[in-house]
Structure 1
Amino acid sequence: MKYTFPAGFWWGSASSALQTEGESQHGGKSQTTWDVWFARQPWRFHQGIGPDETSTFYQHWQQDIALLKQLNHNSFRTSISWSRLIPDGTGEVNPEAVIFYNTVIDELLAQGITPFITLFHFDMPMVMQEKGGWENRDVVAAFARYADTCFRLFGNRVKHWFTFNEPIVPVEGGYLYDFHYPNVVDFRRAATVAYHTVLAHASAVRLFRAGRYEGEIGIVLNLTPSYPRSDNPADVNAAHCADLLFNRSFLDPVLRGQYPQDLVELLKQYDQLPLCEPGDSALIADGKIDLLGINYYQPRRVKCRDSAVNPDAPFMPEWLFDHYDMPGRQMNPYRGWEIYPPGIYDILTNLRVNYNNPRCFISENGMGVENEARFINNGKINDEYRIDFISNHLAWLHKGISEGCQCLGYHMWTFIDNWSWCNGYKNRYGFVQLDLSTQQRIVKKSGEWFSAVAASNSFDKE
């Protein structure tokens, strides 16, 4: 069967400043939380590889953009580093950073590649974290000034802006489950961080509108469909609670301009509501977006709890549901994630039916595999498994579009093997293989396949 996509469909990939630039202590950049955490606890990072040893985009941007062109990208998402652009978080702009980002944006445009720019991709400047990070409304105000600075510096060429990438992840990692700095386990503080992140997002959107910049502004959310174990009301309610906490806590504010009442009541029931101030509701209402980026990797399968909660334990989302290992599910054994392509269709359908069919695109989708060198054949990684993964997801994406979903593109994570937080280079995701010792870049079989798909705006699948 031939799958053909709408004219003008966005074909590309996604990356982030912290995971690709390198030079984390150079070029006038200040430290992020990742630089500091790695310096303090390097053993928590796979093979002791930290944020200074990424895929060296800061030096090799020209070569990498040429590879994007070779892969027939018509669009590419990356982020600006707040700590590189404004090293003290609030004051003077770093001229070296302005030159670097201007050069990258100009080269992308010269190669016919539309830049999609994210303002915050997990890389909190340490000077801002020392003030409390997203727990402090002063940091929210500082982010808004940083966003406005980006709009003024680059808005004449960048027409697709995204305030945050996966804002639920720093909430989960930093304040619930101990896989991001500052390694806090406290639901009330997590709720405050999530709430203030929405305020920061809305503040940036308000400034974008006030500045009458060309183009559009949105946010990138990792939407993880919550599937109940069964139709039993207890299981259904468990899935509903998971959906409220992990999806709708950001989806509803940015698309509807308000929080779901069910979520408010749930947090009130457990005395976990963040502190609200006058004017917050109006600000959140102003934060409705033009374009939604959707990151999809795996579903969430849940059931009701089968055991009592320890009342002395800290309140956690798992008080409300339990995780369910569905028999027979297809797994990526390297990442420990379920592979479920229909989930991408279910996300799009939910948006079409329940959220007035917003303009959106798949901003990340990908498969990390360990030790890919074993698949080298004639000097090139033969990653047929990645081609199968992408094509299966694209087939379900195509079905959603055929039913009227306003999905405008597909970006893969990621274009080149890159550093991935505490996992380092354990799992490789790229269309392009990166040799860490030589920095040599070699296109994988999946990259050649994707290049052909993007060129023809279609692919064939049995």
Structure 2
Amino acid sequence: MSTPPDSHALSFPAHFTWGVATSAYQIEGATREDGRGPSIWDTFARVPGNVLGGESGEVACDHYHRWEQDLELIAGLNLNAYRFSVAWPRVFPQGTGTVNTRGLDFYDRLVDGALARGLQPHVTLYHWDLPQALQDRGGWANPDISDWFAQYALAVHARLGDRVSSYATFNEPWCTAELGYHIGRHAPGIRDLRTSLLASYHIQLAHGRAVQALRAQNSRAELGTVLNLYPVDAATSSAEDTEAALLVDEKINGWYLDPILRGTFPKRALADYAAYLPDIDPAALASARQPLDFLGVNYYFRQWVSQDGASRAGPPHADIERTAMGWEVYPEGLYRLLTDLHRTYAVQKYYITENGAAFDDQLENGEVHDEARVRFLDSHLREVHRAMQAGVPVAGYFAWSLMDNYEWAFGYSKRFGIVHVDYHTQRRTLKDSAKWYRDFVGTQRART
């Protein structure tokens, strides 16, 4: 394996958090065990044409049964943190009502197992797997969902408590509202802008309600949320392209940043959505702004916008490096994003909660030589370090993902993991990127 020049020359703080991230539906499997109820992804995946190959998360990486082996993998990479999500349908099979203790037992074991191996547990409460029973009642378009979500958050906290280092309310709410309720590419597969905007509004209220509820428990765990954010560039310097880029920036970034950090929606996007907006109660929306201990930033690529309103995953040049998803590899975007974000909102702490790439990995003779991913991780960590030197308080980095897994509508066709998974045997194999990350983090932690 070739190592990038000076790959270990960077020096991160001694208290820096080093981890990997996963999500429940993408890795756990066991969708019908121990009282778990069906989720919207179980339902969505059964509809022909929704998911490539008709694949589902029914087995996935079988993490539900192999969690000890997977925690050993993480600890063996010299890491000190594991970010994972809790499946709402495991805790409340019907979305509300009686807690399923067997479901919480699994996360209880997982948290204790992580702590026993020196790993800080970082919990995400919602990573897209809404109980189907709640979708049957309107899902995120139902105004009661903020109370349902707060009840769920309290049930998780009652069991896991302060053993968890942090709780994030949501992972990438833009994807929930836009891909799930407008474009229909994700569960529940609805294609209606008005419903999407209503869902996004209720997500903001649910975030605020849950943070308030958890604060009332006097928990020592950090509270925050996780957003997918992008630098947004105009395709040209024309006034039309510039205005289009500003609008896309507000619809993707500001629509989720402004409510939780300012208590309002951004004005340009509000005006553009005017014909489709639900009734918004300014006082209710202001409640989305709660004191946060951190903001999680997921970064993959930049948005490239032209006057027709279309945004792309980077410029349409043939000579730029792209991932297997077709996304531009643009490390500098992470520096730009972090410095612009901090200049605008001045959050007290950031975690890079997801950063990674899918490539067409091949397992050959028991090894995966994914040099492109090694370069990706190295170059993006350099930009994180550069942002920190510029004064951005980044406290941790979680590579996406620990292992190859169910990539939503792409099924198992895209591999984001630093650990290769043979889905027939469930054998885990460290890719070169995992070995590189292990050595990089080992060098950092050895300096402390």
Change (3 A) 1:328 1:283: same
**One of 34, 38, 42 as aligned partner of 1:35:** 42
SS of the residue corresponding to residue 99 of structure 2 reads coil
What is the letter of the counterpart of residue 284 of structure 1?
A
Contact 1:141 1:200 in 2 (8 A): yes
> After superposition, where does 1:80-159 map in structure 2 within 5 Å?
80-159=86-165
TM-superposed CA distance for 1:88, in Å, is 1.2
What is the letter of the counterpart of residue 388 of structure 2?
I
**One of 294, 297, 307 as aligned partner of 2:297:** 294
Unaligned 5+ segments in structure 2 are: 1-5
TM-superposed CA distance for 1:169, in Å, is 0.3
Change (3 A) 1:112 1:458: closer
> After superposition, where does 1:154-303 map in structure 2 within 5 Å?
154-268=160-274, 271-277=275-281, 279-285=283-289, 287-303=290-306
TM-superposed CA distance for 1:299, in Å, is 0.6
Alpha-carbon distance in structure 2 between the residues aligned to 1:76 and 1:458? 16
Contact 2:197 2:277 in 1 (8 A): yes
Identity rate, percent: 35
SS of the residue corresponding to residue 163 of structure 1 reads strand
Structure 1 position 332 matched with structure 2 position 322: yes
Following TM superposition, where does structure 1 have runs of at least 4 consecutive aligned residues deviating by more than 4 angstroms?
A: 321-324
What is residue 407 of structure 1 aligned with on the other side?
394
Contact 1:304 1:322 in 2 (8 A): no
What is residue 422 of structure 1 aligned with on the other side?
409
What is residue 23 of structure 1 aligned with on the other side?
30
Change (3 A) 1:278 1:304: closer
Alpha-carbon distance in structure 2 between the residues aligned to 1:137 and 1:124? 15
What is residue 3 of structure 2 aligned with on the other side?
none
What is residue 3 of structure 1 aligned with on the other side?
10
TM-superposed CA distance for 1:447, in Å, is 0.8
What is the letter of the counterpart of residue 454 of structure 1?
V
Alpha-carbon distance in structure 2 between the residues aligned to 1:302 and 1:226? 7
* Root-mean-square deviation over aligned CA pairs: 1.7
TM-score, structure 1 length as denominator?
0.91
What is residue 336 of structure 2 aligned with on the other side?
346
The alignment covers a number of residue pairs equal to: 438
TM-score, structure 2 length as denominator?
0.94
TM-superposed CA distance for 1:322, in Å, is 5.5
TM-superposed CA distance for 1:183, in Å, is 2.2
Contact 2:162 2:221 in 1 (8 A): no
Change (3 A) 1:59 1:395: same
> After superposition, where does 1:343-382 map in structure 2 within 5 Å?
343-370=333-360, 372-373=361-362, 376=364, 378-382=365-369
Alpha-carbon distance in structure 2 between the residues aligned to 1:225 and 1:30? 38
Contact 1:202 1:288 in 2 (8 A): no
Q: Deviations along 1:83-102, whole A, 9 cap, x unmatched?
A: 00111111111121121110
SS of the residue corresponding to residue 93 of structure 1 reads coil
What is the letter of the counterpart of residue 346 of structure 2?
N
Contact 2:254 2:266 in 1 (8 A): yes
What is residue 448 of structure 1 aligned with on the other side?
435
SS of the residue corresponding to residue 123 of structure 2 reads strand
Contact 2:165 2:221 in 1 (8 A): yes
TM-superposed CA distance for 1:458, in Å, is 7.9
Q: Deviations along 1:29-86, whole A, 9 cap, x unmatched?
A: 00001111222x1443222221102101100000000000001111111001110011
SS of the residue corresponding to residue 366 of structure 1 reads coil
What is the letter of the counterpart of residue 3 of structure 1?
L
TM-superposed CA distance for 1:260, in Å, is 2.2
What is the letter of the counterpart of residue 38 of structure 1?
A
TM-superposed CA distance for 1:164, in Å, is 0.3
Alpha-carbon distance in structure 1 between the residues aligned to 2:152 and 2:339? 35
TM-superposed CA distance for 1:325, in Å, is 3.6
Contact 2:79 2:119 in 1 (8 A): yes
After the TM superposition, which of the residue ranges 173-182 and 128-137 deviates more from structure 2? 173-182
What is the letter of the counterpart of residue 385 of structure 1?
A
SS of the residue corresponding to residue 10 of structure 2 reads strand
TM-superposed CA distance for 1:333, in Å, is 5.0
